[in-house]
Amino acid sequence: MNNSKNIILLHGKGGLVVGGWFDEIKVFASDKKIPLISESFPTSEMIMYNTWKEKFELLVLPFLNEKSIVVAHSLGCGFWQKYFTENRANFSVDTVIFASPTVKWSGTESIKDFFTEERNYKNIQKSSKNFVVIGGGKDEYIGAEQFKFLSEELNAKYYYDPEMTHMSQRKYSHHPKVLELLDSLFSEVSEV
């Protein structure tokens, strides 16, 4: 297992959008010389859990370690939850940050198979030493009660911004809470 600190990005249903806030995380990682793994998972007709699972196991899982910080958005969060409901973690990553996480099936047919079974939150908890849930009051797809539920199930730190939409805080390409958390997490690591 690779034991270097790194950042893993898991995007949502829409994929990696150029100019989106994941780009800010990439700049942050580059500036701090932190390895970053950001794979593009299938979108549109190819959104199937098993397809995501195969790509995750091949291209992402080998880079996860006890120092990894995972930043997941929307369906990327739903994927993490299903994967670690089905699969026991051999170790815990340092922190998982869920931004606008999907918690249950919303009726969108293309992502239904990500939500075919009850979540095993005890298994999911074992995948990370720390969880953070970031949710917003203006999220167009997920209600605040779901964010709160997930944060309670995972014993996560919970940040709620009444102005945050599904994609970000106040404008599409800027997510200050995620960057603030990453800065804090990597400052702690470098001080040790």
Tell me the per-residue pLDDT of 103-139, one tens digit each, with 9 for 90 and over.
988 888 888 999 998 999 999 999 999 999 999 888 8
- The tens digit of pLDDT for each residue in 148-175 reads 999 999 999 999 988 888 776 545 445 7
pTM score, whole prediction? 0.91
Task: Using the predicted structure, report yes or no on whether residue 191 has a pLDDT greater than 60.
Answer: no
Q: How many CB atoms lie within 10 A of CB 28?
A: 17
User: Is the model's pLDDT at 1 over the cut of 80?
Assistant: no
> How much is the pLDDT for 172?
44
Q: Which residue blocks in 89-143 are alpha helix, DSSP H?
A: 121-125
CA dist 77 and 39 (Å) reads 15
Taking residue 43's Cβ as centre, other Cβ atoms within 10 Å add up to: 15
**Which comes out higher in pLDDT, residue 192 or 47?**
47
pLDDT tens digits for range 8-44:
999 888 766 554 557 888 889 999 999 999 888 877 6
What distance in Å separates the CA atoms of residue 145 and residue 143, rounded to the nearest whole number?
Answer: 5
Q: What domains, with CATH codes, occur in the chain?
A: 6-191 (3.40.50.1820)
